[in-house]
Homo-oligomer: A and B are copies of this chain.
Amino acid sequence: MQPTMPRGKIYLIPTTLGSYETSDQVLPSYNIQIIFGLTEFIVEQVRTSRRFLSFIKHPVPIDQLVFHELNKTTLHKDISQYLESIQDGKSIGLLSEAGTPCVADPGAKVVEMAQERGYAVVPLVGPNSLILALMGSGFNGQHFVFHGYLPIDKSELIKKIHEMEGNIFRRSQTQLFIETPFRNDAMFDILVNNCQPVTKLCLATDITLSSETIVTKTIALWKKEKPDLHKKPTVFLLYK
């Protein structure tokens, strides 16, 4: 009988939000050590991943690293192939494009398969805009829901906003969601026109960047002072 090779692990690796210059601010030094020990990565875009790994000065020449691309067209059998090295005893990294892998970010399909195969999955600490926004909002962190993107259809959207407000007042549940940055201003208008004046809205913009602002006000107060959210990554939070 052949000895069993110890399996590799899959590390889930966060990156900065928007600017590599914030690396020391948002990534523990341990992450860099782990990344330096890896030579095979599952990534969303090879080009930007190479740039990030160059920025942090990966000791292996970038063209000797192996990249597997993960996007909406990636098939189940491709992912299966990406994970082959783990079976052979080599650890690999699932590298986010911005923020933490798998949370409001692709990658969950890869982790799902790794779990099905019993591989060790090791998430590393990094900036998650949802949690940072929730911390800064002053809202209930014992009970919250993240909806991802809300419906685009206006009547569906208004229905959803009313459902969220119901859960705020009935369940004391903080409501989090995101929007495509160029639609932020339209979302803001719909919120102030459809929420109750006493409902609180927190706008968490440019999280971890030097332009970061996290501001909570009632809808009544926001009506008097429209913020500039155009094209700025923003987490929206509603609570009472």
Contact = CB atoms under 8 A, between A and B. Distances in A.
Nearest to A216: B115
Contacts of A26: 28, 30, 125
Contact of A24 (B30, B130, B138, B143): B30
Given A24-B30, A131-B128, A148 B143 contact: yes
Residue from A114, A139, A144, A208 with most neighbouring chain B CB atoms (10 Å):
A144
A136 B108 contact: no
A103 B115 contact: no
Interface string A116-144: 10000111011110111111111111111
A2 interface: no
A137 B115 contact: yes
A93 interface: no
Interface residues of A, number: 57
Contacts of A145: 144-146, 173
- Give the number of copies in the complex: 2
A138 B125 contact: no
A25 interface: yes
A214 B123 contact: yes
Contacts of A100: 131, 135
Nearest to A111: B138
Contacts of A121: 136, 138, 214
B123 A126 contact: no
Contact of A136 (B113, B122, B134, B216): B122
B103 A135 contact: yes
A107 B212 CA distance: 21
A105 interface: yes
Interface of A: 12, 24-30, 100-105, 107-109, 111-116, 121-123, 125-128, 130-148, 173, 202, 208, 212, 214-217
